[in-house]
Amino acid sequence: MDLSPNLLALVIAVSFGSAIIGGMGGFGTGIILTATLTPILGIKAVVPVLAFAGIIINVGRFWFYRRDFDARAVKLVLPPALICLLGGTLIYQHLDAARLAIVIGLVVLAALPARRTLKARNLHLGARGLALGGGIFGFLNGIASGMGVVLISLLLGAGLTGTAVLATDALVTIAVDITRSALFGKLDLLTVPGVVLGGVIGLASLPGSWVASLLVSRLGHKLHIVIIETLIAVGGLSILYHGIRAL
């Protein structure tokens, strides 16, 4: 992995901007970064790098909303997420790069109708629903970055609102990303240059998370969702395109 000045400058700029977007809604950061870095690094390198970066990104995000997290939701979602994360990571290890990109692209695109379906049906998830959803979230995180849209939809379906959603999402994701990074390291998928690049991404995101905390109450909810869903659609299509092209 060539950590050239041009690459680092691009990473810093995209990390800052995507952290603002993701910090306001809890999702979007990973998908934007995945779509930007996949053509440069390849999908096999991107997911482990973003797993490590995600630790720093979500620590910063959690800090700004730390008083509002829901401990009950964390206890229900986190254990099954960590258990199922292992299965997703093993699948990630054995998929070749082209097929992996296609899978990730499809997963990212599928998150959009899934979120809208949950919202349209106004489903209220109980303890079992949160636990099952946590397992799905963990499994998907083993093979892809940017699955925050799944967790955000779960927490909204469980009745959480406002900054409680952002704080709870960030805390769960910190634990998941620490575990992901350890697994990727054990499987030799996360290298030292990857850790360095992930650290740069994470640190560059911190000012963006701060800006997001200032904007979160000022940007209209509907406009924000439109922006994020557009970016997710573009990101998913970009990843899918590069996967199909590499076959």
Where in the chain are the domains?
5-246
10 burial (CB, 10 Å; 0-12 / 13-18 / 19+) is middle
Find the mean pLDDT for residues 138-151.
84
- Whole-structure pTM value: 0.81
- Give the separation between CA 216 and CA 224, rounded to whole angstroms: 9
| Percent with pLDDT over 70 in the chain | 90
Q: Is the dihedral of CA 161, 108, 95, 48 positive or negative?
A: negative
Instruction: Provide the CB-side half-sphere exposure for 156 (13 A, CA).
Output: 20
Question: 146 near 93, Cβ under 8 Å?
Answer: no
pLDDT bin (cut points 50, 70, 90) of residue 200 is very high
Higher pLDDT, 115 or 241: 241
Q: Which of 243, 70, 31 is nearest to 171 (CA)?
A: 70
One-letter identity of residue 113: P
Higher pLDDT, 28 or 78: 78
Please report where in the chains the tokens 């925050």 appear, as a residue: 148
Q: Which of 91, 77, 101, 108 is nearest to 176 (CA)?
A: 77
One-letter identity of residue 4: S
- Give the separation between CA 138 and CA 35, rounded to whole angstroms: 21
190 pLDDT more than 80:
yes
Which residues does 105 contact at the CB level (< 8 Å), separation at least 6?
A: 236, 237, 238, 239, 240, 241, 243
Question: 3 near 195, Cβ under 8 Å?
Answer: no
pLDDT bin (cut points 50, 70, 90) of residue 222 is low
Find the mean pLDDT for residues 139-157.
82
- Provide the pLDDT for residue 74: 96
